[in-house]
């Protein structure tokens, strides 16, 4: 296993977790519940961590994460083919691989 991402903001780590799972990469949390232990150990040690289970997924996972982080503020988009919601990080639908299309909302 390799550490792929860690951040003090659990929401960001959770978001990264969802994105990687949707991309078919198997990941696991570490320290998911450690924040309840703050006071005993330094906050830095309690950051949730995201690990890729299969080392061969590491480079792809890193690319997905970096793409996702650069698009953090972009809105989700809805696939025109299957109506699945896609994270802004995706350029094609995670479900049916259709090209992203600008929608008129």
Binding site for Zn ion (CB under 5 A): 79, 81-82, 84, 93, 95-96, 98
Tell me the chain's radius of gyration from C-alpha atoms: 16
Compute the least distance from the CB of residue 70 to Zn ion, in Å: 22
Of residues 24 and 39, the one with the C-beta less far from Zn ion: 24
Q: How far is the CB of 58 from Zn ion (least distance, A)?
A: 27
Q: Output 43 or 75, the one with its CB closest to Zn ion.
A: 75
Ramachandran quadrant class, 19 (left: phi over 0; alpha: psi -120 to 50; beta: rest): alpha
| Nearest-approach distance from CB 23 to Zn ion, in angstroms | 14
Query: Least distance from C-beta 79 to Zn ion, angstroms?
Result: 3
Residue closer to Zn ion by CB (options 6, 95) is 95
Q: Give the integer Cα–Cα distance in Å for 10 and 78.
A: 25
Q: Which residues of 65-94 are buried (b: 16+ CB within 10 A; e: fewer)?
A: beebeeeeeeeebbbeeeeeebbbbbeebb
Beta bridge partners of 49: 6, 30
User: Between 18 and 66, whose beta carbon lies closer to Zn ion?
Assistant: 18
């Amino acid at each position: 296993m390799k550490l792929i991402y860690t951040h003090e903001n659990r929401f960001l780590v959770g978001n990264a977790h969802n994105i990687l799972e949707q991309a078919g990469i198997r990941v696991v949390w570490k320290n998911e519940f450690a924040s309840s232990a703050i006071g005993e150990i330094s906050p830095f040690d309690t950051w949730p961590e995201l690990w890729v289970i299969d080392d061969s997924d590491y480079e792809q996972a890193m690319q997905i994460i970096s793409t996702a982080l650069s698009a953090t503020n972009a809105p989700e988009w809805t696939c025109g083919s299957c109506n699945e919601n896609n994270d802004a990080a995706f350029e094609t639908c995670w479900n049916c691989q259709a090209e992203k299309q600008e929608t008129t909302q």
